[in-house]
Amino acid sequence: MLIVVGLGNPGARYNSTRHNVGFEVVEFLGGPNQWVSEKTFDYAQLTIRSRPVTLVKPTTFMNESGAAVYDVMSLSSATLSDLIVLVDDIHLDIGRIRIRRSGSEGGHNGLRSIISSLGDDGFARVRLGVGKAPEGISQIDHVLGPIGQDNWDVASKAIYRSAEA
């Protein structure tokens, strides 16, 4: 089984923000499937290319994503090689995607939490570029801000390409 975790923050306040592009990908993949709620995450199960896949949206906040991923992994027979995490990345221009089989958290608190909870960084991650904060705007305000119509076309294409990958 493949476990695909899209990182983001729960709640309507964070919909369509840069920090929630991971949620956007799993929601795109999940389509109209029934989402089920567990203690620390929501999930949907489907088959992609003849392989069972569990899509996951942590219901913890980004910085506590590790608790949700730990719970998902504990409840499944999946191994780290079956785990893919989708995450925003300010170090990549909006629309850019970077895929790695493993690696560090790269300064991302959600990945840091997951690595700490799992005790290992040997899982795949798909980084979706959201760009750096413009002059005069804090990094936190930037990632928690809406993508905006001016960048939505580029971002939505990256979300689609990430889902395809």
Question: Which active-site residues does the annotation give?
Answer: 19
For residue 31, what are the contacts with CB-CB under 8 A and spacing of at least 6?
Answer: none
Q: How far apart are CA 82 and CA 69, in angstroms?
A: 12
Q: Following DSSP, what letter does each residue of 80-95 receive, concatenated?
A: GGGEEEEEEETTS-TT
Q: Following DSSP, what letter does each residue of 101-160 receive, concatenated?
A: SS---TT-HHHHHHHHHHT---SEEEEEE--PPPTTS-HHHHHTSB--HHHHHHHHHHHH
Q: How far apart are CA 155 and CA 26, in angstroms?
A: 14
Residue type, 145: G
